[in-house]
Amino acid sequence: MHRRNLLRTSTRLLVAAVSALSVTALAAGGASGQPGQVAGPAPVPRLELERYLGTWRQLAAIPQYFNLACARDTQANYALDPQGNIAVRNTCSTWANTQNEINGTAVVNDRETGAQLHVSFPSVPTQDALDGPTNYIVTALGPDYSWAVVTDPSRASGFVLARAVSLEADAWQQVRAAITAAGQNTCLYLTSPTTGGESRIVPLCAG
């Protein structure tokens, strides 16, 4: 029953988040007078790829259709592949207590900062091309690479990644400030349950 309640809660929060995201996008377009021509989030000045590789835990995210099956312990592992691109391995525990995994590739599109990439997954329609437009922007990083905020040019997605299963209060304050600086609403981000960390699914603006 507990997992069913969590699933119902996450579904309600997803609907609210998607609705709010649509309103935010429309408002942003109206503010400029030219819908769809809003400047995208800025990448970090320089991403040191070797420091960025490894395992990241998802601590919060704007809900996406492809991760609705994930109940907890959502992780991303990045490693260099033989072609010099980034091998992506995303995993999570599902609501049925099974392991979910998908593998893909990230290609750096921005050689100046190294922080704008195209991520593809061969098994996902419309996302199976190795090369393509940027859909992954590292817009903020902890100074010690202990956390990162990732989004895309349209701001429709957002992920708070961390090396550990939790962050201290001052780090969360920096994360929320980075989300706002990227032109996003912290209320659209929902916490991602992690073993040993946060167990709830709540908007970041409630924390």
pLDDT on residue 120: 97
Give percent of the chain above pLDDT 70: 81
pLDDT on residue 6: 44
The pLDDT of residue 20 is above 80 = no
CA atoms within 13 Å, Cβ hemisphere of 52: 24
Tokens representing 50 are 């070797």
pLDDT on residue 56: 98
Average pLDDT over residues 73-85: 97
- Compute the mean pLDDT over every residue in the chain, rounded to the nearest whole number: 86
Q: pLDDT tens digit string along 37-63?
A: 458 999 999 999 999 999 999 999 999
Buried b (16+ CB within 10 A) or exposed e, 26-47: eebeeeeeeeeebebbebbeeb
Q: pLDDT tens digit string along 113-141?
A: 999 999 999 988 888 999 999 999 999 99
Residue 203 DSSP symbol: B
Average pLDDT over residues 149-159: 98
Buried b (16+ CB within 10 A) or exposed e, 141-151: bbeebebbbbb
pLDDT on residue 38: 55
Higher pLDDT, 30 or 198: 198
In sign, the C-alpha dihedral spanning 30, 116, 174, 176 is positive
The pLDDT of residue 206 is above 80 = yes
Say whether 138 sits in a helix, a strand or coil.
strand
Higher pLDDT, 182 or 5: 182
Distance of alpha carbon 203 from alpha carbon 160, whole angstroms: 12
Average pLDDT over residues 5-21: 42
pLDDT on residue 125: 84
The pLDDT of residue 78 is above 90 = yes
Say whether 29 sits in a helix, a strand or coil.
helix
Tokens representing 102 are 């998908």
If you average pLDDT over each of 11-25, 105-119, 120-134, which comes out highest?
105-119
pLDDT band at 33 (very low <50, low <70, confident <90, very high): very low
Q: Which phi and psi angles does 9 have, rounded to 5°?
A: -65, -45
pLDDT on residue 126: 83
Pairing label, strands 99-108, 158-162: unpaired
- The residue whose two tokens read 């903020």 is 140
